[in-house]
């Protein structure tokens, strides 16, 4: 404090819906009376970033009352006004769309009296801009609110149980760049410097061992693969050094490749942190990308169906028609579980991301609606009536165990192949791969034509001689 005497700081850890855990810090000095408070984020950082896109139409008062959780790392912008709140400029907060815009206008109005005296033109422009912000806050004009958070801990409330059915709000996931991770304080593995051919210490013509494994790195690729394959079994667990996505400490990532009957090769990856106890596992499909996508429909009628093994990839969506529920692509990542385990994972995700509708801040109408929906969801476990689970994967990497040797003989399981759309090929990078393959073919064709032309010239000269 200003008096430089000792004061008291109190800490309280609590959980806020969609904001994970926070630490409330309050300081008070009994000598001079100074007080201040601060909020610190204490939860885990998401595996992927999130980006929300909310469209507010003129006169839509319900839209400006949507609750918004903004973390320290989030960027908020209104493209129509060319307005942006950069990460780190404001503390983490729980507010509404109206509250964000009103607070921004209030902050811009600070020191306006001094500006009107010294810089009247600048002050007039700020006043005009604040009027636009206030108009947006009152829903007098239409605008778009975009929230981009690389930590994945920001949230914009949806009035639909399924965000995909909200016509005004869209949510997408994105991978963090190394620069984003650095700004958030996460540990980032530095890329190894490129080794030049003429490097006397690390190049192919260097002598002696500079570091462990350097001789292998400089060896012939085919010989090294043959040597490693001699002592490596297909089920061997490989370990890689890495960092914890939650606390940034050093952690190990384990990976092994296995074959699943009726499906094929899969890659199982898991990591655990001894410092904070964070654990995570993920499943990736091995091999190439099939030509067609897969849509798997399973009618669940008894305990045998509930215990079927399920592989849900990170590129698939899950639908339960009886609940009018459809998850977005990439939700919950890639997992290996059972039908019952998949339902529990969906319920866990829905409860953790819908606390505005079921918590203390929910209205009586929303809470009653969600209580009925969750009761209906829990009724699936008791198998009171058959229900359908649909896995839709454009990359064809999902799987449900059939009860018969031939999937066609399983009356409850139906697998349909379909052709991906151009948008899906573009989203998953397949279009780019095809373009690269076509460019490579064109280069090889051009090289063959050039080689044939030179050979023809040599034959012509020989005949002249």
Residue among 173, 161, 137, 142 at smallest CA distance from 52:
173
Q: What average pLDDT score do residues 270-290 get?
A: 77
- Residue 40: the pLDDT is 65
Q: Please state the pTM of the whole predicted model.
A: 0.50
Which conformational region is residue 150 in: left (phi greater than 0), alpha (psi within -120 to 50 degrees), or beta?
alpha
Min mean pLDDT across 23-27, 111-115, 179-183, 397-401 is at 23-27
Q: What is the DSSP string of 331-375?
A: TT-SEEEEHHHHHHHHHHHHHHH-HHHHSTTS-HHHHHHHHHHHH
- Residue 56: the pLDDT is 92
Q: pLDDT digits over 331-388, tens only?
A: 777 788 899 999 998 888 887 766 555 555 567 777 788 888 888 888 899 898 899 9
Q: pLDDT digits over 131-160, tens only?
A: 999 999 999 999 999 999 998 888 888 887
Q: Which long-range contacts (CB under 8 A, 24 or more apart) does 30-34 make?
A: 31/1, 31/3, 31/5, 31/7, 32/1, 32/2, 32/3, 32/5, 34/1, 34/2, 34/3, 34/7
Residue among 327, 307, 464 at smallest CA distance from 390:
327
What integer best gives the mean pLDDT of the chain? Answer: 78
- Residue 51: the pLDDT is 92
pLDDT at 325 over 60: yes
- Residue 190: the pLDDT is 63
Handedness of CA 419, 423, 429, 431 (dihedral sign): positive
Min mean pLDDT across 216-230, 264-278, 344-358 is at 216-230
- Residue 347: the pLDDT is 87
Q: pLDDT digits over 22-55, tens only?
A: 677 788 888 888 887 666 665 567 778 889 999 9
Q: Give the number of other Cβ atoms within 10 Å of residue 74's Cβ.
A: 28
Q: What average pLDDT score do residues 253-279 get?
A: 76
pLDDT at 114 over 90: no
DSSP code for 200: T
């Amino acid at each position: 404090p200003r008096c430089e005497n000792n004061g008291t700081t109190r800490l309280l850890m609590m959980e806020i819906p969609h904001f994970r855990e926070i630490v409330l810090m309050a300081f008070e000095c009994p000598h001079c009376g100074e007080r201040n408070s601060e909020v610190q984020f204490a939860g885990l950082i998401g595996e992927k970033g999130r980006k929300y896109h909310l469209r507010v139409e003129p006169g839509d008062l319900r839209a400006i009352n949507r609750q918004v959780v903004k973390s320290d790392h989030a960027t908020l912008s209104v493209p129509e006004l060319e307005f942006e709140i950069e990460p780190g400029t404001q503390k983490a907060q729980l507010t509404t769309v109206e509250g964000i815009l009103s607070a921004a206008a209030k902050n811009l109005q600070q020191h306006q009296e001094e500006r009107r005296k010294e810089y009247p033109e600048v002050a007039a422009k700020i006043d005009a801009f604040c009027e636009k912000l206030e108009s947006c806050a009152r829903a007098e004009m239409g605008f778009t609110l975009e929230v981009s958070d690389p930590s994945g801990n920001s949230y914009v409330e949806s009035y639909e149980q399924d965000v995909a059915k909200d016509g005004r709000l869209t949510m997408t996931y994105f991978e963090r760049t190394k620069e984003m991770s650095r700004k958030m304080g996460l540990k980032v593995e530095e890329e190894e410097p490129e080794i030049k051919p003429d490097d006397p210490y690390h190049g192919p013509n260097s002598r002696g061992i500079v570091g462990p494994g350097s001789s292998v790195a400089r060896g012939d690729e085919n010989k090294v693969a043959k040597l490693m394959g001699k002592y490596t079994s297909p089920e061997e667990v490989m370990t890689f050094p890495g960092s914890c996505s939650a606390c940034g400490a050093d952690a190990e990532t384990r990976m092994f490749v296995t074959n699943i009957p009726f499906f094929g090769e899969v890659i199982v990856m898991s990591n655990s942190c001894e410092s904070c106890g964070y654990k995570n596992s993920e499943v990736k499909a091995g091999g190439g990308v099939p030509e067609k996508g897969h849509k798997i429909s399973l009618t669940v009628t008894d305990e045998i169906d509930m215990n079927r093994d399920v592989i849900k990839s990170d590129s698939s969506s899950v639908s339960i028609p009886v609940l009018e529920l459809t998850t977005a692509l990439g939700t919950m990542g890639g997992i290996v579980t059972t039908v019952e385990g998949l339902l529990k994972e969906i319920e866990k995700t829905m409860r953790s991301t819908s606390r505005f509708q079921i918590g203390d801040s929910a209205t009586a109408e929303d809470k009653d609606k969600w209580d009925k929906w969750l009761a209906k969801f829990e009724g699936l476990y008791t198998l009171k009536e058959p229900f359908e689970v649909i896995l839709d994967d454009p990359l064809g990497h999902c799987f449900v165990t059939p009860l018969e040797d031939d999937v066609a003989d399983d009356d409850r399981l139906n697998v349909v192949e379909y052709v991906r759309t151009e948008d899906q090929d573009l989203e998953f990078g397949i279009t780019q791969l095809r373009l690269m393959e076509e460019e490579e073919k064109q280069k090889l064709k051009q090289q063959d034509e050039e080689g044939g032309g030179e050979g023809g010239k040599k034959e012509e000269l020989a005949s002249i001689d």
